[in-house]
Chain A
Amino acid sequence: MRIAWAVVAIFGARFAALAWHYPGQDADLSWQQWLGQRVLTLHHIPTQLGFETFTANGARWIPQEWLFSTAVAATLPSGHFYILAIVTALAGVCALAVTAWRAHRRGASTFATALTTALVGFAMMQSFGVRAQVFGWALLAIIVLLLDMESPLVFLIVPLTIVWANVHASALLVPALVAFWTLGTAIEDRGWSARVERNVLLTAATALAVFITPFSWHLPAYAVQLQTSAIRSAISEWQPPDLTIPAFFAGLLPLIALGCYFGIAAPRERWRDGMLFAVTVCLAFTAIRHMPLCALVIAPMVAQRLSNAIPQHARLNVVLSERFSELLVIGSSAAAASAIVLTLSHVPAIAHSSLPNEAVAKLAAAPGEHKLYCEDFAWCSMALPKKNLRVFLDGRCDPFPTAVWLAYLDVEKVTPRWSGVLDKYSVDAVLAKAGRPLAQVLALRPGWRVFYHDTGYVVFVRDGVRTAER
């Protein structure tokens, strides 16, 4: 198990380094901070989009990440973001460590536990950030551990689901997982048994638990509606995993392959495992953001089956269990963890902000009110606190009506309707990535001029719009 802890430490170092520099990488923190500040000052959660947007003012909004946003608002402006960064990294570490412990509890060998823990770590890397869903990963790891334990403690899943539902809407996964677990139990017990009865009760309780949020039934309805939403096509995390993504080919795919090779359910009549394997693997193929969830659930099962082929008394595991080997691995891991922290802190893409902070600030400093369209909707999140900027679409994305989304995509993809959309919504400022098609076509379009540009971004404004430079 010590080897697995060493693996966890390496990934923990990477998580911590990424989390530390995260504010410069993700524009979503801006709207989360803005939302959190409204919660802290107004003492209620907004449920409608406001004047900050000119396309969907008054649209219903389910700010499912309200708790996390409050944490962002409580730490980021006061310079204490490092606390949230460390807590998020610890949540990632917790998810990994609990998964490793789950494998160990199942009797997985040293090698199998360490290998599968490393694979889970890789699978988590693509989506890791100071984000609400990382806390969901930790909660998921604990929930499946409780399911594994098959003790009265299993009902702790209900309060954990309530916590998860208030952190992130992905909590809706819990009733589905517990239902499939129950189905597996019924197959194993060949009918209705005390275990099945308990698990049915648990399924019902978790299904009710996701309603215990400030949004009551609106949260499950929102999560279901999101599955068919037009916005999915515009968000990279909702795209299916691909072989070109390291987290998939070096993390999740080997786990699935090992599962397929050894068999999860039938060889040991573990249909509870089999059901979870089936549902999470199918889920993982649909979206990149589901990869860590699948890896966390199936890794201990895979480790257990792998241990049948390479048991604890096998030479490899005996060598790994020797004190010298352990010291060697732990020492190497400590060195690797230090190297990761030091190296990542000097990688320009991570250590320096890649966001258009200055472009937004310059536009906000210009006189008058501006209706801003951002090529990447997340950038517009940075404009939310600016009183004179109103946005077309921002990182909150979910509450914007489908018509607005389609209009946004028309401009982002520069379809033949792009200029008509900008005219229709009276957009007078566009923030685009320099050199990209939108910037190219705006440069050629009469009636638009460059207001600001740097190496990465360019802001166009309509001719006739009053700005400081005119």
Chain B
Amino acid sequence: MKGRFSAAIVAFAVATAFISIGRALPEFFVQLRDPNLFGGRGATWLLHTFGFSFVLGSCAAIAAAALLLAAWRTRLRGASDWHVGLAATFIALCLVGRIGVSLDPVAWLCIAAICLLLDRDDVWSWTAVVAITAAWELVQGGATMGALIVTLSVTANLIERRRFDAVAARKAIGAVACIGVSLVQFHSGIFSAYGAHALYLDSLLGGAQRDRLWVGAISAQDLGFAAIVVVAGLYGIRRRERLGDALLFFALLVLSLVDARNLPFFGIVAAPIVADALASYYLERRQRPAGSLAAYGLAFAAAAFAFIGVITAVEPKSVVWPRPTVAPLLSALLHRPGAHYVLCVQPRWCDAASSLKTRALSVVLDDRAGISGPAARKIQGDVANAVGNWQDELRRSNVDGILAEQNDRLVSLLRAGGWQSSISAGGAILLQKVTGQ
């Protein structure tokens, strides 16, 4: 056993996990309706043409491709097959919390490709980095992450070289181009808000949706995070004398602590670095990869087509997205005439409003806190925590529907204030303002 297929086996496990979970992430419904994201339109076209199973299989294959690219990057650094398998396992653990249909796998693939190209150092690679960043921005909108990584890498390179020559100039131009293309918004939108949301920095704003590591029972993604940090601590990422590695590692580490939705990026960027640091202590096992990326790519494409083909063929064809669990609650609100304004105690629930495709229902705040105004965030924060003048704020803003957890304090408080609770689904309950209040 030489562990040659260890990374491929892990990638297959990740793809299978996508199929077995078979859900769509709540954020996906917001992405579908975002006019700046062409990935949403593409996904809708694929759904109507080939069905949901095809989209699900494609997401699984793209996630597996991202993992294998990161594994290839580890391999290119001279790590043995077993160390590559270890890196792939770390990445897989980091992905667990975000498995589901969304545009995220596209971002994972882009970041894996950019990191791979940054490890190379030629004009072709830099052109490809800019092109990938542009494509990423158009399809998924999170290219700020790519621009950040490229900028950190160039900065580290400049610090290491201590001179600004033609090579440094070429890299600086590449970084500026990446930053530039990550600014592209075809249909309005404030860049800073999008940029902050792409890095999930907006999750630190009051009232915003925030996913944290290590909350509640220890999860697979907590283990993935801990494993990378512990291996880095044992072996040291300084070992390879690459400042770029260190900057990327720490930037993504902090971003993961800001919001757990950044953890897959940390895994894809950092796992090859720590696996390489580990492998560098076992010189006798170091190997250079055999074969070309193109050949492996072709083999992977064949496997991916077979995988998607089988999934599409065996699953019943459905041309609608799986309904978010709280969507029935929002639909119930639409039974009343007029426009409705909804507040969700967990902003993520309000992502489901995008799946209803109606102008009669708007939400105070959904996943994208950075894009919303400070007033909306204040209402969200005050009402969700029932602090300050939350009842006045609720009245002034004309909120007529609230989605809260069934055990939430708001349920008791609003019922005491005359609101009605009617139906519940997915752990949430809909509270409606009684007409005439």
A interface list, Cβ under 8 A from B: 233, 239-240, 242-244, 253, 256-257, 259-267, 274, 277-278, 281-282, 285-286, 305, 410, 413-418, 435-438, 440-441, 444-445
Q: Which residue of B lies closest to A271 (CB)?
A: B234
Per DSSP, chain A at the interface is helix
A240 proximity list for chain B (CB < 8 A): 212-215
B230 proximity list for chain A (CB < 8 A): 277-278, 281-282
B234, A263: Cβ atoms closer than 8 Å: yes
Per DSSP, chain B at the interface is helix
B321 close to chain A: CB less than 8 A = no
A260, B249: Cβ atoms closer than 8 Å: yes
Contacts known (A240-B215, A281-B226); A260 close to B237, Cβ less than 8 A: yes
B412, A416: Cβ atoms closer than 8 Å: yes
Contacts known (A444-B416, A444-B417, A445-B416); A281 close to B233, Cβ less than 8 A: yes
B253 close to chain A: CB less than 8 A = yes
Contacts known (A242-B212, A260-B237); A414 close to B229, Cβ less than 8 A: no
B295 proximity list for chain A (CB < 8 A): none
CB distance from A286 to the nearest CB of B (A): 6
CB distance from A412 to the nearest CB of B (A): 9
CB distance from A239 to the nearest CB of B (A): 8
Contacts known (A285-B226, A415-B409, A436-B387); A263 close to B235, Cβ less than 8 A: yes
B415 proximity list for chain A (CB < 8 A): 416
Pairs of residues from A and B, 8 with the lowest C-beta to C-beta distance, nearest first? A263-B236, A414-B409, A240-B214, A260-B232, A415-B407, A437-B386, A444-B416, A265-B234
Q: Which residue of A lies closest to B254 (CB)?
A: A243
Measured in the bound complex, the distance between the Cα atoms of B225 and A418 in whole Å is 38
Which of B214, B250, B254, B278 is the most central at the interface, judged by chain A CB atoms within 10 Å of its CB? Answer: B214
A244 proximity list for chain B (CB < 8 A): 204
Measured in the bound complex, the distance between the Cα atoms of B238 and A266 in whole Å is 12
Q: Which residue of B lies closest to A440 (CB)?
A: B413
Known: A305-B236, A440-B413. 12 other contacts (CB 8 A): A243-B254, A260-B232, A261-B250, A265-B234, A266-B236, A278-B233, A285-B213, A285-B214, A416-B415, A435-B387, A436-B386, A444-B413
Measured in the bound complex, the distance between the Cα atoms of B416 and A444 in whole Å is 7
Which residue of the partner chain, among A257, A265, A410, A440, contacts B250 with CB atoms under 8 Å? A257
Query: Size of chain B's interface in residues, with CB distance under 8 A?
Result: 42
Contacts known (A267-B239, A285-B214, A436-B387); A414 close to B233, Cβ less than 8 A: no
| Chain B 210-259 residues near chain A, CB threshold 8 A | 212-216, 218, 222, 225-226, 229-230, 232-239, 246, 249-250, 253-254, 257-258
Chosen A-B contacts, 17 in total, with CB atoms closer than 8 Å, are: A240-B215, A243-B254, A260-B253, A261-B238, A263-B234, A266-B234, A277-B230, A278-B230, A278-B233, A413-B408, A414-B386, A414-B413, A416-B407, A416-B415, A440-B413, A441-B413, A445-B416
Measured in the bound complex, the distance between the Cα atoms of B218 and A262 in whole Å is 27
Measured in the bound complex, the distance between the Cα atoms of B281 and A445 in whole Å is 68
Q: Which residue of A lies closest to B417 (CB)?
A: A444
Measured in the bound complex, the distance between the Cα atoms of B233 and A259 in whole Å is 5
Contacts known (A240-B214, A260-B249); A266 close to B235, Cβ less than 8 A: yes
Which of A256, A285, A445 is the most central at the interface, judged by chain B CB atoms within 10 Å of its CB? Answer: A285
Which of B204, B237, B257, B415 is the most central at the interface, judged by chain A CB atoms within 10 Å of its CB? Answer: B257
B355 close to chain A: CB less than 8 A = no
Contacts known (A263-B277, A285-B226, A414-B409); A278 close to B234, Cβ less than 8 A: yes
B277 proximity list for chain A (CB < 8 A): 263
B406 close to chain A: CB less than 8 A = yes
Measured in the bound complex, the distance between the Cα atoms of B204 and A413 in whole Å is 23
Q: Which residue of B lies closest to A286 (CB)?
A: B214
Contacts known (A243-B258, A256-B229, A444-B417); A277 close to B234, Cβ less than 8 A: yes
Measured in the bound complex, the distance between the Cα atoms of B411 and A304 in whole Å is 55
Measured in the bound complex, the distance between the Cα atoms of B407 and A280 in whole Å is 35
B236, A264: Cβ atoms closer than 8 Å: yes
A285, B222: Cβ atoms closer than 8 Å: yes
B235 proximity list for chain A (CB < 8 A): 263, 265-267
CB distance from A180 to the nearest CB of B (A): 12
Measured in the bound complex, the distance between the Cα atoms of B412 and A413 in whole Å is 10
A256, B233: Cβ atoms closer than 8 Å: yes
Measured in the bound complex, the distance between the Cα atoms of B253 and A438 in whole Å is 38
A239 proximity list for chain B (CB < 8 A): 215
Which residue of the partner chain, among B204, B234, B246, B281, contacts A261 with CB atoms under 8 Å? B246
B234 proximity list for chain A (CB < 8 A): 263-266, 274, 277-278
